Amino acid sequence: MRVLVVEDDANLRFAVTTELAGKGLQVDQAADIAGADAYLRAGAYDCVVFDRMLPDGDAVTYVHARRQRGWALPVLFLTALDSLAQRVVGFEHGGDDYLVKPFAMPEMTARVLALARRSGANRPSVLRLADLELDSARREVRRGGVMLTLTSKEFAVLEYLLTRPEQVVGRDELIEHCWDSSTDPMSNVVDVTVRRLRGKLRTPELIHTVRGRGYRLEGSGA
């Protein structure tokens, strides 16, 4: 799952980003509405965490304008504006959840995960291919009934490939959805992660290289 964190306080932005990334989420970050807008127009996300009062305006105004155009991405507002009236404004203008500062990181993470799962509600929580099974909610992977231990990046890559079985998925696409925006698209992080993932999935092989194009997940698992 991929999340965008929009917060102008650098320390808080770092703390929130680190907390979410530690839970296996792919996190991008912006310090203002303009930066957030650029990210949202360039990539696909499962949730956005918006501080309300940003250097270039109130995020509520931005979210409301996009909701008017049919934007459905879940939004969590983080804010020091804690009055009932302000919370109502946040919900009335398109917020899905509202958390007042200061807040506990575990609670923030739980709320973000709940919203991100809602974003993917049309996708089954358990993904299967042959004898491979991935449970997104429990963050568990089994092959042939045997539990596998994956890193957060290996899990993210496998989850993304499982949503596109028998389709060729390019390296750039995997970087976009499974890493953050600071990742160099020319690096070999995808190849290294896929190689390690293949080793953990064992045989028969499920992840196939399509030369010059990327990877395809397929196989009978027999």
State the residue range of the domain holding 208. 126-217
Element (H, E) at 207: strand 207-210
* Domain shared by 27 and 89, yes or no: yes
pTM: 0.61
Residue 222: inside a domain:
no
Torsion of CA 193, 23, 71, 77, to 10 degrees: -150
Residue 196: inside a domain:
yes
* Domain shared by 70 and 135, yes or no: no
Residue 32: inside a domain:
yes
* Domain shared by 78 and 158, yes or no: no
* Domain shared by 20 and 104, yes or no: yes
The model's pLDDT over 116-131, given as tens digits with 9 standing for 90+, comes to 877 655 556 788 888 9
What sections of the chain are H helices per DSSP? 10-22, 33-42, 59-68, 84-92, 105-119, 152-162, 171-178, 189-201
Give DSSP secondary structure letters for 76-101.
Answer: EEEES--SHHHHHHHHHTT-SEEEES
CATH of residue 196? 1.10.10.10
> Number of folded domains in the chain?
2
CATH of residue 79? 3.40.50.2300
- Domain end, chosen from 119, 149, 164, is at 119
The model's pLDDT over 107-166, given as tens digits with 9 standing for 90+, comes to 999 999 989 877 655 556 788 888 999 988 788 999 999 999 999 899 989 988 988 888
* Domain shared by 59 and 102, yes or no: yes
Cα dihedral 110, 183, 63, 123 sign: negative
DSSP label at residue 164: S
Residue 51: inside a domain:
yes
